């Protein structure tokens, strides 16, 4: 969770909403870290959770993130929760 907080601080430093996310596998190996980038990317879907899901999916070459855990510094919005459900995260 500390790493997610550090990601949120990075977002705040660049003028984004301070939200951070981290995804780990079943052995607590970090698969992805991310922070909000909606302003930077001019992308309303570039929330920390979605950014982390994209990175972890690319790393695993599979959108199904089975046996993974998502740590996030805020309760996910409806859009992010939908993406989390589709990615089949085991824990939030």
Q: What pLDDT, on a 0 to 100 scale, did the predictor assign at position 46?
A: 98
Distance between CA 33 and CA 4 in Å, rounded? Answer: 7
pLDDT digits (tens, 9 = 90+) for 22-41: 999 999 999 999 999 999 99
Is 16 a known active-site residue? Answer: no
User: pLDDT-derived band of residue 91, with 50, 70 and 90 as boundaries?
Assistant: confident
Query: Where exactly are the structural domains of the chain?
Result: 2-87
- Give the DSSP H or E segment for 21: strand 20-24
Distance between CA 48 and CA 62 in Å, rounded? Answer: 19
Residues in the chain, how many? 92
| Neighbouring residues of 90: CB distance < 8 A, sequence distance ≥ 6 | 26, 66, 67, 68, 69
Indicate which residue of 12, 49, 75, 89 is catalytic. 49
Question: Does pLDDT of 1 surpass 80?
Answer: yes
Spell 32-63 as b/e; 16+ CB within 10 A means b.
bbbbbbbeeeeeeebbbbbbbbbbbbeebeee
Q: In the CATH hierarchy, which fold is given to the domain comprising 2-87?
A: Cytidine Deaminase; domain 2 (3.40.140)
pLDDT digits (tens, 9 = 90+) for 33-87: 999 999 999 999 999 999 999 999 999 999 999 999 999 999 999 999 999 999 9
Q: What pLDDT, on a 0 to 100 scale, did the predictor assign at position 66?
A: 96
């Amino acid at each position: 969770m500390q790493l997610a907080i550090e990601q949120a601080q990075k977002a705040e430093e660049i003028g984004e909403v301070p939200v951070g996310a981290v995804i780990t596998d079943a052995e607590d190996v970090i698969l992805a870290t991310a922070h909000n980038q909606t302003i930077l990317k001019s992308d309303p879907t570039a929330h920390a959770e979605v950014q982390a899901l994209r990175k972890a999916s690319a790393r695993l070459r599979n959108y199904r993130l089975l046996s993974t855990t998502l740590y996030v510094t805020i309760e996910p919005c409806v859009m992010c929760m939908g993406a989390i459900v589709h990615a089949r995260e085991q824990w939030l």
